[in-house]
Amino acid sequence: MGRRALQKIDPAIELSSHFFDLDQLPQPWDAQKLFGRVAPLEVEIGTGKGLFLETAATKLPEHNFLGIEVSRKYARFTAARLVSHELPNARAVHGDGLRLFHEMLPDNGVTAVHVYFPDPWWKRRHRRRRVLNDQFLHDVMRVLKPKGQLHFWTDVKEYYDTTLERITQLREDPLKIATSSFLEGPLDVPERPAEYTLDYRTHFERRTRLHEAPVYRSVFVKQGRICEAGPYL
């Protein structure tokens, strides 16, 4: 299922407080500059239309939320959504999510990472472009705090199985031994009925479930001691 056309953004909405290009993020990382406060940080890679970011930031006002999207128009749409709902604890970023994790996010600084319905890159020769590759998973391990969570949902069974296999293999990676940490899981995420039309994690989940297609859900929890920047950085 491809993406549908976006509604136009009201030109009266000022996005500067909630929309950033990747290179505009403070370096070194500074939550105070970006959010105006220091709070537990959750990061979504691939925000789409921003439904998850809006819902999560509303339900957890004590957390900061950062969403990154490779499509500039979708990132701007998400930012407009956040502004319209007056959510000071969420920001939308346009850019490469893999670069955000590899170069910018701090060690042991993230409470949760959210990856929902990433592009499956169906052709075998394109699968190296998938978000959930070895490099990204190592970076997730580095940036998550102990007991931090990785949430991964997809409607592609092959992608789901391959990712779970990768995570299992990384537990045996000799480079992992230097950090003595790993991702425990997958832990089950039971499906619940939606109570209203937008009571879904993302718009893509809504479309998938309305088409009565399966959604594969899992959560992983970082175990072990604090990670430091290792050989993958």
By annotation, the residues acting in catalysis are 119
Non-local (6+) Cβ contacts of 196 within 8 A are none
Give the whole-angstrom CA distance, residue 53 versus residue 86.
12
Give the whole-angstrom CA distance, residue 98 versus residue 94.
12
**Is residue 170 within 8 Å of 222, Cβ to Cβ?**
no
**Is residue 144 within 8 Å of 82, Cβ to Cβ?**
no
Chain length of the chain:
233
Q: Which of 113, 138, 139, 118 is nearest to 129 (CA)?
A: 118
Q: Which of 186, 182, 181, 125 is nearest to 160 (CA)?
A: 186
